[in-house]
Amino acid sequence: MTVFRGPPGRPSALVSWWRRRPPLGFAAKVSIAIALGLSFVVTWTTLAPTSSSQQISTERTYFAADVADPPPGALAPPRNATARAVHRKPRPASPRARKKRRAPPGSRRPNATPSPDAAALRSNLTDPDARPEPEQPNKPEPEWEWEDEQEPELSVPEDDADATGKAPKEEENDDKAPALEWADESSELDAEEEEDPEAAKGKASKKKKKKLPPLFSPAAHYHWKLCSAKSGHHYTPCVDFDGDGSQKHHERSCPRSPVTCLVSLPKEYKLPAPWPERKEKIWYGNVGHPRLSSYAKDHSWLNRTGEHLVFPPEESEFKGGARHYIDTIDEMAPDLDWGKNIRIALDIGCKSAGFGVALLEKDVITLSLGLTNDQTDLAQVALERGIPATIGSLGSRRLPFPSGSFDIIHCSECNIPWHSNGGKLLIEMNRILRPGGYFIISSRHGDLESEEGISASMASVCWNVIAYNSDDVSELGVKIFQRPASNDEYDLRAKKDPPFCKEEQNKATAWYTPIKHCLHKAPAGIEERGSEWPEEWPKRLETFPDWLGDLQTRASADHSHWKAVVEKSYLDGLGINWTNIRNVLDMKAVYGGFAAALSSEKVWVMNVVPVHAPDTLPVIFERGLVGVYHDWCEPFSTYPRSYDLLHADHLFSRLKNRCKEPVAILVEMDRILRPGGWAIIREKLEILDPLEAILKSLHWEIVMTFRKDKEGIMSVKKTTWRP
């Protein structure tokens, strides 16, 4: 201890005083301690700043429901569960059951759905900050916080991926699971992650927890380049064969490496006209190519006039017009009751999309399926016109739709060999057609051989001919078949070929799932989906059937939530001009609440249910809406510049570390969104902030951002910039 000393030879006054001071008593010591403590509290209270997060929470609490997720527990019933299991209440989970394995990156396990017990467990362990708040009926209008964004100079990820390489075989999986330790039971488990009990047993002894890296590195720099595909601005990764537009894959086959290059734009690209003008006239330069030009010369219903492709409303691929063709069908089967009993149709083989255009007037949404072997790319033309369309193939795999989806399936002169290969394609139609649904097929006179083969195949699946007519105006022979609504007719078959599928063969799985030569039984119990026809449209949009069980409340809450958000925020508060919006893509739909909220607008919505999420797509179709399954670790099955608006609600945070290069999802968004199109992104701030930097590197315009606590929403607009 160092002591201050005075001059040498004489003790200092301080030391002398200290030696003479009497010792303090216990009471004096306590008094001094209390006085010092009170002084510290008063000083801290006066000088300590108020937390900014507390200020935001106080000022913006009414906006929480707009930023947060939809109502909690948006989970679907298990696909393999019986009707009784749908209504089963979840049991409390043990601590051991809470330790789960994360789904491996790029997993192609088709549409797996957790059990009710696992679903309830994961719902309880979800981050409470990300849980939504119920929408209040009389909530005041949100006051948006507008931010002036300045674009930073970002150099962006060096793209050396092979965007034109051949795709792996179906059973191959290049993605490797990250070397992660098991988290303790306090870690966040997402409702979309899959459960692997067998792997959990082997890893149960590991207790160390390794923090996962961020989805997007904030220190990453990006350098974009154009794709070198020969198909140029028509490049569709999982369809084009080695990037050569003259050849296409027979079935979906994606590049091995994620596509991180940008698709070029047509020269002098022009924004499409507002709806409904674009239905009858589009810019040829936006979709034009030599094969389309040659095709237009031979068809009167597709006229190239100057810079436009014009579709005369009185003409179509049907002689006499599509309206006359629909009237012929009405006379054959007046009980169809378009727009009420029949709401969702699938039109196989996309030509002029005249069938779907004519049914739009009857309040029927028709999804045109453009086949990948069609070199004319008429599905791209349909999307440019604002007609619902997607591309796919009829081969060895199932289509990406749930079972019992469509009220009606139509095929006119599509030249599909339904009776070949044991009638497998017809078996797939039987799977996706609703029990009691209709199949309409038409062909030119004289095609007797094909007609006889088709009739035999129809008989094998017990489809009944309810009407037949030979129309002199359209010069088409039209047949209407109906799928049995019960299993009685199947049981009466003399020859059980095709046989019934085994119980373990799930009819719900549809992502990279091969078509089996067997028939799935029709739903028998009243608690099963498909045992009864849905309510008439539009009542079915807001009617949640009994087979949903306890999920009725959740679906209803989801509907109310998105209705309030769209009305209060999306239609007026994001700066979007909705008169130029027609094709909308909901990248992570749950119960279709977002699409239902837009039903009164002049738009159509493609609802995408990710394959790693609970299977809620049957609910979406039951409500009279359309959608597909998809894995966002791969490119989407559509042509470039297909959509006017993309909606991504917590899509990236739900992907976790599934995708090899998550930035490829943003590249895909850039490919399928047209220039001048919009994207609405709702995310956690830890993901939204780096997302904003990446979008700026793509030269997208950040129109509006709003942040509250850990959540945020961003409205962005794509420009015509290309590297």
The residue count for the chain: 723
- Between vectors from CA 628 to CA 74 and to CA 587, what angle results, nearest 5°? 60
Q: Whose CA is closest to 551, among 76, 194, 163?
A: 76
Average pLDDT along the chain: 77
3-state secondary structure of 707: strand
Which residue is associated with the tokens 């939530």?
561
Give the integer Cα–Cα distance in Å for 70 and 557.
8
Whether residue 181 is predicted with pLDDT greater than 50 in this model: the reply is no
Question: When comparing pLDDT for 146 and 243, which is higher?
Answer: 243
Q: Is the pLDDT of residue 205 over 50?
A: no
CA distances from 316 to 282, 310, 323 (A): 16, 11, 9
Looking at residue 58, what is its pLDDT? 28
Confidence of residue 494 (pLDDT cuts 50, 70, 90): confident
Q: Give a three-class secondary structure readout of 493-540.
A: CCCCCCCECCCCCCCCCCCCCECCCCECCCCCCCCCCCCCCCCCCCHH
Q: What is the pLDDT of residues 631-668, one digit of tens each?
A: 999 999 999 999 999 999 999 988 877 898 999 999 99
**What is the maximal distance between C-alpha atoms in the chain?**
134
> What is the percentage of the chain residues whose pLDDT exceeds 70?
70
Q: How far apart are CA 117 and CA 112, in angstroms?
A: 15
Pairing assessment for the beta strands 365-371 and 344-348 based on DSSP bridges: parallel
Asked if the model's pLDDT at residue 96 lies above 50, the reply is: no
Phi, psi of 656 (to 5 degrees): 55, -125
Q: Convert 454-489 into a string of H (helix), E (strand) and C (coil).
A: HHHHHHHCCCEEEEEEEECCCCEEEEEEECCCCCHH
Residues whose CB falls within 8 Å of the CB of residue 266, separated by 6 or more in sequence, listed in order: 233, 285, 286, 288
Instruction: Tell me if 215-264+539-718 shares its fold with 277-505.
Output: yes
| Contact yes or no for 375/293 (Cβ under 8 A) | no
Q: 409: part of which helix (H) or strand (E)? A: strand 406-412
CA atoms within 13 A on the CB side of 120: 12
Task: Band the pLDDT of 582: cuts 50, 70, 90.
Answer: very high
Does the pLDDT value for residue 109 go beyond 80? no
- Measured distance CA(202)–CA(204) in Å, rounded: 6
Residue with tokens 């009710």: 116
Q: Which of 339, 376, 341 is nearest to 360 (CA)?
A: 339
Least-confidence region, from 91-95, 479-483, 536-540: 91-95
**Mean pLDDT of the 491-517 span:** 90
Work out the average pLDDT over 569-583.
95
Find the mean pLDDT for residues 678-691.
95
Q: Which residue has the higher pLDDT, 41 or 268?
A: 268
Q: What is the pLDDT of residues 288-309, one digit of tens each?
A: 988 888 888 888 888 999 999 9
What is the pLDDT at residue 23? 59
pLDDT of 10 over the 80 cut = no
Query: Tens of pLDDT along 79-90?
Result: 433 333 333 333
Share of the chain above pLDDT 90, in %: 51
Whole-angstrom Cα distance, residue 439 to residue 409? 5
CA distances from 220 to 215, 223, 520, 652, 656 (A): 11, 10, 50, 17, 18
Give CA separation, 26 vs 21, 22, 36, 40, 494, in Å: 15, 13, 16, 22, 105
DSSP 222: B
573 vs 20, residue with greater confidence? 573
Residues 6+ apart with CB under 8 A from 614: 74, 75, 76, 113, 114, 119, 191, 192
Ranking 68-82, 277-291, 370-384 by mean pLDDT, the lowest is 68-82
Is the pLDDT at 95 greater than 80? The verdict is no
Residue 8 has pLDDT above 50, yes or no: no
449-474 mean pLDDT: 84
* For residues 157-162, average pLDDT: 36
Q: What is the pLDDT of residues 14-68, one digit of tens each?
A: 344 444 445 566 667 667 777 777 776 655 555 544 433 333 232 333 344 455 5
| pLDDT of 412 strictly over 60 | yes
Model confidence band, residue 201 (pLDDT cutoffs 50, 70, 90): very low
Identity of the residue numbered 289: H
327, burial (CB in 10 Å: exposed 0-12, middle 13-18, buried 19+):
middle
- Which DSSP string corresponds to 98-146? G--PPPPTT---TT----HHHHHHHHHTS-GGGSPPPPPTTPPPP----
Top pLDDT among 420 and 212 is at 420
Exposure string for 287-312, b = 16+ CB within 10 A, e = fewer: bbbeebeebbeeeebbeeeeeebebe
Closest CA to 513 of 630, 629, 397, 432: 397
- Specify the pLDDT at position 91: 39
Contacts of range 470-473, beta carbons closer than 8 Å, 24 or more positions apart? 470/445, 471/325, 471/328, 473/319, 473/320, 473/324, 473/328
200 to 97, 205, 207, 358: CA distances (angstroms): 9, 9, 12, 54
CB 682 within 8 A of CB 648: yes
Those residues whose C-beta lies under 8 Å from the C-beta of residue 604, and which sit 6 or more positions away, are 365, 386, 388, 582, 583, 584, 626
pLDDT for the residue numbered 70: 58
In sequence order, the β-bridge partners of residue 409 are 346, 439
Beta bridge partners of 240: 248
Q: What are phi and psi of 625, to 5 degrees?
A: -115, 165
Contact 236, 640 (CB under 8 A): yes
Q: How far apart are CA 713 and CA 68, in angstroms?
A: 9
Say which range, 245-249, 421-425, 491-495, 530-534, has the weakest mean pLDDT: 245-249
276 cis-preceded (ω within 30 degrees of 0): yes
Over residues 162-168, mean pLDDT: 36
Fold (topology level) of 277-505? Rossmann fold (3.40.50)
CA 72 to chain centre: 18
Cα–Cα distance between 199 and 515 in angstroms, integer? 29
- Among 122-131, 346-355, 590-599, top mean pLDDT goes to 590-599
Hey, where are the domains in the chain? Answer: 215-264+539-718, 277-505
Which of 12-21, 229-238, 378-387, 609-618 comes out lowest in average pLDDT?
A: 12-21
Classify 129 in phi/psi space as left (phi over 0), alpha (psi -120 to 50) or beta: alpha
pLDDT of residue 390: 96
Site of tokens 């795709």 = 167
How would residue 241 be classed by pLDDT, with cut points 50, 70 and 90?
A: confident
Supply the pLDDT for residue 2.
39
How is the chain split among helix, strand and coil, in percent rounded to 5? 30, 15, 50
Assigned CATH for 215-264+539-718: 3.40.50.150
Say whether 15 sits in a helix, a strand or coil.
helix
DSSP state letters, 284-311: HHHH--HHHHHHHHT-TTSEEETTEEE-
pLDDT of res. 418: 86
pLDDT, tens digit, 9 for 90 and up, residues 377-391: 799 999 999 999 999
Q: Is the pLDDT of residue 128 over 70?
A: no
At 250 the three-state DSSP class reads coil
Q: Stretch 527-556: mean pLDDT, rounded?
A: 93
| Nearest in space to 76 (alpha carbons), one of 432, 565, 592 | 592
Cα 630 to Cα 399: distance, rounded to the nearest angstrom: 11
- E strand spans, 212-360: 240-241, 244-248, 281-283, 303-305, 308-310, 344-348
Residue 209: pLDDT band with limits 50, 70, 90: low
Supply the pLDDT for residue 140: 37
DSSP class of residue 336 equals: G
